[in-house]
Amino acid sequence: MGTSSNFYVVFLTIVVLATTTFATYFPRPTHQNQFVLKQSKKPQKPYKSHYFPQQLDHFTFTPESSKIFYQKYLVNDTYWEKKAPIFVYTGNEGSIEWFADNTGLMFDIAPKFKALLVFIEHRYYGESLPFGKNSYKSAKSLGYLNSQQALADFAVLIRSLKQNLSSEESPVVVFGGSYGGNGVMTRSLSVSPAVLAAWFRMKYPHITIGALASSAPILQFDEITPWSAFYDAVSQDFKEASLNCYEVIKGSWVELEAMKSQKGGLAELSRIFRSCKVLQSADSARDWLWTAFVYTPMVNYPTEANFMMPLPAYPVEEMCKIIDDFPPGATKLVRAFAAASLYYNYTGTEKCFDIENGTDDHGSDDGWGWQACTELIMPMTCSNESMFTPSTFDYKGVTEYCVKKYGVMPRPHWITTEFGGERIYHVLKRSGSNIIFSNGMQDPWSRGSVLKNISSSIVALVTEKGAHHLDFRSATKDDPKWLIEQRRQEVEIIQGWIDEYNADLRCKGGKTE
């Protein structure tokens, strides 16, 4: 297979922020972060850890299916009053504390609703490992890791929690960003909790009265969304900031590739990239640049943030200023490196860059690799309009990789079979209700989400300047008016769901059916 046709396979192989990886080129809408969120000056949000005895397999009846593992969840009951709402965050691919600490919206609105806050960890991530250290050992142990089992976990835990609290009439609203929003992948190149939240509402409408799915790319599967949409959107973000910036980055790949064949090329690349060690491959330098230019648009927030990396407000614009203000005569590659350095070294503390040895402190890549090789197949390509090297999608190559890595065949059409997606505007108009799809058009994942209202109760809140689940972040005094308004609308809609639910309860004499 050629370089372009092997594109998807290559980025499935290593760890995010390290070398060529699935997460590098196919960024999980999620959250591979090595830093604790510091944007808000508030003290760390309070919650208590609990462990729920969860069944391994919800869908078969065999002796092994009854195996129990302990699923972690966090609870904050600071403002809760009995019978008041329960707000549940559907966890993604990572430790649940990290998501709780980065979802300030729920804490901000809890006092208004007197809500109980619950953050449920996704099976196979964080501490919720069904087979302990052997959970990733083989396809046999990994076989219970999929979105359907995860959604069933959430449903079972929520029901049990309400019974134990003697508050079965409390309305439940689910929240998710990225994979968590879909109800699928949620970290950087996953399809996070936002996807999961939307899917949870579709699959378990008797458990939750509504879902807020932020940056949920539920249409990023099969051929629903153009395969080049993600990288075209990344390129558009840079082009809007500066056409010169876009052209410099686009041209830097050619210069980098040319250095491969030059005598002393790796030594020169090591010097340009301020590598702590002499590079063993030019590909690692390429991936280092690629990561910076892909992830920065996702977090092009209007205020300083530490979500992916410590970054200034509107970091895409700041990157382009570096390129545009560079002294004349510098190569495109040198200018691209200087801009990418903002992503890795905004604080100015890095004396050199460990380009070939990135790590994921959240430990989610083993699980995510499995999900990306089984059900979560999101074809992605780079078109000629992209600022990245053109590439194609090769399903045969993906299959070969996944069979070699895990011994399993991908199911590219399973997600749309299980959850739908085709003709979604017609289907959900008749079959669904009470979902908010919130998106910021600066976020490249927005192109695979719902961007217009489906019905009066399935609404799309879209902001031109918003980025990856920006609305879920803690409110700050520097938030722009459009962000404040987006959150206001979300709260208003959720209040409407709760009011309608309580009105129905009163009509039934205070009893649920």
Catalytic residue numbers, as ranges: 178, 443, 468
Backbone angles phi, psi at 74, to 5 degrees: -115, 145
- Return the number of other C-beta atoms located less than 10 Å from residue 165's C-beta: 16
- The dihedral through the CA atoms of 262, 247, 18, 220 has a sign that is negative
- Which helix (H) or strand (E) segment holds residue 191: the answer is none
Per the rule left: phi > 0, alpha: psi between -120 and 50, beta: everything else, 423 is left
Strands 28-30 and 187-189: antiparallel
- Beta carbons of 56 and 71 less than 8 angstroms apart: no
From residue 364, give the alpha-carbon distance in Å to each of 314, 325, 353.
28, 38, 23
How far apart CA 455 and CA 457 sit, in angstroms, is 5
Q: Is 165 helix (H, G, I), strand (E, B) or coil?
A: coil
Q: Is 176 helix (H, G, I), strand (E, B) or coil?
A: strand
Say what angle helices 147-164 and 194-203 make with each other, to 10 degrees. 70
- Beta carbons of 164 and 145 less than 8 angstroms apart: no
Alpha-helical (H) ranges within 299-406 are 315-324, 332-345, 365-374, 395-406
Q: Is 345 helix (H, G, I), strand (E, B) or coil?
A: helix
Alpha-helical (H) ranges within 361-420 are 365-374, 395-406, 414-419
Q: Is 80 helix (H, G, I), strand (E, B) or coil?
A: coil
- Which helix (H) or strand (E) segment holds residue 32: the answer is none
- The dihedral through the CA atoms of 245, 250, 251, 254 has a sign that is positive
